[in-house]
Amino acid sequence: MFEIRVICAPDDADRVSQTLAAAFDTGPARQYPTRDRKHTRLYLTADHRPTTPESE
């Protein structure tokens, strides 16, 4: 498990979160403004997706 931090334009935050969720197994994105309030910081806890389906 690892943490991903992305700084992006506020209008791109949803698209970035969805793209990362498609590539990794992520938890909910936490959003905070940057210090200058012009961008958004996204924090996501993520894990690699299994490469092969688990057999039962």
Residue-wise pLDDT for 1-56, tens only, equals 999 999 999 999 999 999 999 999 999 999 999 999 999 999 999 999 887 766 55
Locate 23 and state its tokens: 């590539």
Which residue type does 26 have?
A: T
pLDDT attached to residue 42: 97
Return the pLDDT at 53.
Answer: 67
What integer pLDDT is reported at residue 54 of this predicted model? 63
What type of residue sits at position 48? H
- pTM value surpassing 0.75: yes
Per-residue burial over 24-49, b = 16 or more CB atoms within 10 Å of its CB, e = otherwise: bebeebeeeeeeeeebbebebebeee
What per-residue confidence (pLDDT) applies to 16? 97
